[in-house]
Structures are given as C-alpha cells and as structure tokens.
Copies of this chain bind each other. A is one copy, B any other.
Amino acid sequence: MMNTPLTIPPMLERAERYFPAKQVVSRTQEKTHRLTYKEIGKRTRALASVLVELGLKRGERVGTVAWNHHRHLEAYFAAPGIGAVLHMINMRLSPDHLVYVINHAEDRILLIDEDLLPLIEAVQDQLTTVHTFILLSDKEQLPKSTLAPLYSYESLLEKGNSAFPFLDDIDENEPAAMCYTSATTGKPKGVLYSHRGITLHSLVQGMVDTTAISERDVCMPVVPMFHVNAWGLPFSATFYGATQVLPGPQFTPQLLAELIEQEKVTFTGGVPTIWLGLLQVIKKGNYDLSSLRGVVCGGSAAPKSMIEAFEKELNIPFFHAYGMTETSPIVSFSSLKSHQLSWAEEDRYNVRAKQGMAVPLIEIKGVNENGEIAWDGNEMGELLIRGPWIADQYHEDERSKEAFRNGWLHTGDVVTIDEEGSIKIVDRTKDLIKSGGEWISSVDLENAIMGHKAVLEAAVVAVPHEKWQERPVACVVLKEGEQATKEDINAYLATQFSKWWLPDDVIFMEQLPRTSVGKFLKRALRDQVVKAT
C-alpha cells in the first residue's frame, strides 16, 4: 500500500475541495461572522504564510489565547500546515501558570483575543521565548498595548498569500498541537498531539457508533477551543464539511439555546455544568431545539437524572463520553447496543449513565492491587488506556514516569467495567472516600443527590474522621426558590445506598468552586469544608 501519511492539511483541503460553500458561523466580541470553507481555506493559508514570514520554524510552537471563533479555527490548521505546533493556552490559569506554560512550551508567537490582552500584558516581562504578538480582533485600529511587536491579525492576513501551499512532507508522527492539563499539585503538564493521532481521532468521530459527525451536521463545540482541541470537534467537523457554530467568548445557557435554535445546531458537546445550566434555561424559555440529534457530555460524569431530563422531557438524545487531555480526548462513548434497545427503561438509562465502551482502536483495562479487575461491573480499579491518540509522555516533564508505565496511561480514575465492556467512573483515585477500610464513591453520591428535585448541583468530598479515617460530606446548591434540609437529602439517598454511605453532613452553598474548564474543584471544596468543620 502507498505510504500516504495521516496528516492535518488534507482535512482542510477536503473542506476546500468538496464543501467550499458550507459555513463556519463565528461569534466574536463585536459581531457574528459567516465564512465559507473556501474563505476559511484562503484565510488559513494566508495565516500560514504570515507565520512563516514572521520567522516561525518547523516544530516551533505558536500559542493562542482565544475563545471559540473562526480565527482560532484558522490557527488550528495554519500552524500544523507549516509543520509548527499550535499551543492552545488555557487563559484561566493563574498568572504564574500562564507564564509557566508559555515559557515551557517555548511559544514564539502569541495570538491573543482583544479582551484577553491584559492577561498577557500583566505577565509580559516574564515571557522568555515569545518574539511576536498578534491581536485577534475585528477592529482595524490596534488598541494601546505594552506588547511589542503587536500586529493586527486582519492586516497581516491582507498581506498574506491566500494560495500558500501547506507542507506535503510532514511525517504523521510529528506534533501538530499541544495543550496543558492542570495537575493536582505543581505546574500544568503539557501534552503533544501528533498529526496521526488527530487524524485517527477524527476518523472515529465520524463513525456511526460514536459521535457520528457528518456533512449534514451543524456542529457547535461548547467545550473551549483551548481545552483538548475542543474535543477534536473543529478538526472532524472541518474534515467532513459539517457546518460549524463557534459561540465566541461566552457560553451563557441563554446564548447557547438561542444559537441552537437560530442555526439549527444538530450536534454539540460540553461538560455537565454547561448542560445543567442549559436545562434550567430551556425549561423556562420557549426555544425550539428540535434540530439537535445529539448532545455529548464529558469531562466529568453526568448524573442520570440529567440524561433523563434531556431525553424524556426535551426529546434530545444525550450521550456520555469519557476522555481527558492526555487522550485527545475520546476514549469511550456510551450508546445502547442493539440487544439493549428492548431493555426496560430503567435498565437502559443505567447503561446510558455509564461512560460506555472504548471506541475502536482504544484498549482499556482496570487494575488494582490484585491485578486486572474482572469485567463484572463491581470490582474497582484504576483505568489504564492505550491507543494511537493516547499520549505516551508529558512534554519534558519528570512526572511522565508516574502516568505512563509499561505502555499504558494510568489515568488516576477509578472505574468498574461491566460485562458489556462499559466503563463507569467511580471516582478519581484521590477523591475516593475510604471509610472504615471500605470505598465510598463520591461521584455516585453526588450524581444521586443531583437527582433530588430541589437540587441544582452537588459535590461530595472526604473529610478526615478519627474512627472511620474518612467520611463523606455533601455540598449542595439548591435550585432557585427550592428548599431542602440535610434530613431530606439523606432520606432521599437512603433509598439508594447503604446507611454507612450517607454523608455525615450536608452543607448548603450559593455556588460550588469550579476549575477553569467548568468542573467542580473538589480539592478547594474539601479544604473549605475541612476548615469549616
């Protein structure tokens, strides 16, 4: 067979050739842009020529500090197209960590949204490798800034070569993109994505049995484009010529509902907290969301009650997926096998509430102190993963040794795997509650609590206990206008769990602390609770 490499340029070239009139709908601070793939192709090529002109070399990194919009999408293809690496920077990191990731990645050029300029200006003196700044803005006039040299993206593109050819000698194992993942302790850890990994990941996203992205989709990634390549959706949507909706700087539930209705979005993906918010807005508002064929939820486990709310009340198919920054990210996808279609409703939702089977090309196993766990839905162990879009190391980082051992990624997630091969995330290794020598799953408890009609959000953390070593405490945010007591919550839980699993305390809060990508910040919460008790 021909040794045609699996690289990123042909993905955009496919959109240019076969789907030139399909659109990318992009919201920026100023307005909504509608660009065709033909235009996106020309602009991406112009950007590629500009990056070369500005001295960016093959293998070097170009960083983006940007929301979800068309210019970010252009950078997704321009950097890999010249053999450079796109470093998508999480601008919600602390200033210290922001400086660390930019210097550690050795970014040469930074592409920055106008409203995020102050973040970089505040740390510019500490940046050791960046030689050029480019402002992503609709405005013709550059704002006053201490960054230098600072260019206008649009002015540069006007001078660029819109027919610039992408490299045709890229090795499929060369890096194309890069993200940092925050660590429990210490500095963020960098993951390099190869052309091969991204291409294979995109192929699997086009498959019927996974996310099923196709030309007929209108795809709106609600996960930030600085977070694991927005789950790879911008790559696969472009590859297959799907219409894309990039919702810009804010993901307010109301905006999302409006975009879904106006643009007839068929497919979207994001973390549970996004969908919790959307659910509230949908129930209040009068939106037509009938175009949606699928909502994918990942990042952390979605409560079964949320899946049921989407499917039963709103008639919107809702799918669980599992992955992480180290895995590009799709590892598993939960849908019903043909023989499960006729199961009782309760059983079907129990399947759907798990994280699902590993997708093709990905291998998984669970491991605990006794060795490999049985696929019986009971035995718990740490999830290990391998496959062609799974990282084999952190970029120049000593901590690689802990996570990557014997050819497997050790995820730090505790799972069960059932007879059907479906993964269920029981907890993070570090969040598991060890009570009297037994394990209590914080995830199971919080998902159950979120099934209570008065509860908006819940997180369960371990607090130290003299006798039992650790005990669970629940932190709960109630829905507007709803009321519930500790006794209500525990009575509700008592119907589903053994008595010793019930939280020792239920603390009602206004809001839960979140990570920069919208997950509950369990560590901060635990500190807060421990301090208060």
Interface residue ranges, A against B (CB under 8 Å) = 1-4, 6, 10, 14, 17-19, 21-22, 173, 192-194, 196-197, 199-200, 203-204, 206-209, 212-216, 239-241, 328, 337-339, 357, 360-361, 363, 386-392, 407, 409, 420-421
User: Can you offer 26 A-B residue contacts whose CB atoms are under 8 A?
Assistant: A1-B192, A1-B193, A1-B328, A1-B390, A2-B387, A2-B388, A2-B407, A2-B409, A3-B173, A3-B388, A4-B388, A4-B390, A10-B363, A17-B421, A18-B421, A199-B361, A203-B203, A203-B204, A203-B207, A207-B207, A207-B240, A209-B214, A209-B215, A216-B338, A239-B360, A240-B360
In whole angstroms, how far apart are the Cα atoms of A173 and B3 in the complex? 9
Q: Are A197 and B1 in touch, CB under 8 angstroms? A: yes
Tell which of B17, B199, B206 touches A207, judged by Cβ atoms closer than 8 Å. B206
In whole angstroms, how far apart are the Cα atoms of A420 and B409 in the complex? 43
Nearest CB in chain B to that of A420: its residue: B18
Q: How far is the CB of A423 from chain B (nearest CB, A)?
A: 12
In whole angstroms, how far apart are the Cα atoms of A6 and B192 in the complex? 20
7 nearest CB pairs, A to B = A208-B214, A1-B197, A206-B207, A2-B392, A1-B194, A18-B421, A4-B388
In whole angstroms, how far apart are the Cα atoms of A300 and B481 in the complex? 67
Q: Is the interface of A mostly helix, strand, loop or mixed?
A: loop
In whole angstroms, how far apart are the Cα atoms of A478 and B83 in the complex? 60
In whole angstroms, how far apart are the Cα atoms of A214 and B359 in the complex? 12
Q: Are A1 and B196 in touch, CB under 8 angstroms? A: yes
Q: A2-B407, A390-B2 are in contact. Are A208 and B209 (CB under 8 A)?
A: no
Residues of B within 8 A of A337 (CB): 19, 215, 241
Residues of B within 8 A of A22 (CB): 338
Q: How far is the CB of A502 from chain B (nearest CB, A)?
A: 36
Q: Are A392 and B14 in touch, CB under 8 angstroms? A: no
Q: Are B387 and A240 in touch, CB under 8 angstroms? A: no
In whole angstroms, how far apart are the Cα atoms of A361 and B382 in the complex? 36
Q: Are A361 and B206 in touch, CB under 8 angstroms? A: no
Residues of B within 8 A of A363 (CB): 4, 10
Residues of B within 8 A of A240 (CB): 207, 209, 360
Nearest CB in chain B to that of A338: its residue: B216
In whole angstroms, how far apart are the Cα atoms of A505 and B346 in the complex? 69
Q: Are B204 and A18 in touch, CB under 8 angstroms? A: no
In whole angstroms, how far apart are the Cα atoms of A126 and B420 in the complex? 51
Tell which of B3, B392, B420, B421 touches A1, judged by Cβ atoms closer than 8 Å. B392
Q: Are A1 and B206 in touch, CB under 8 angstroms? A: no
Tell which of B14, B19, B216 touches A360, judged by Cβ atoms closer than 8 Å. B14
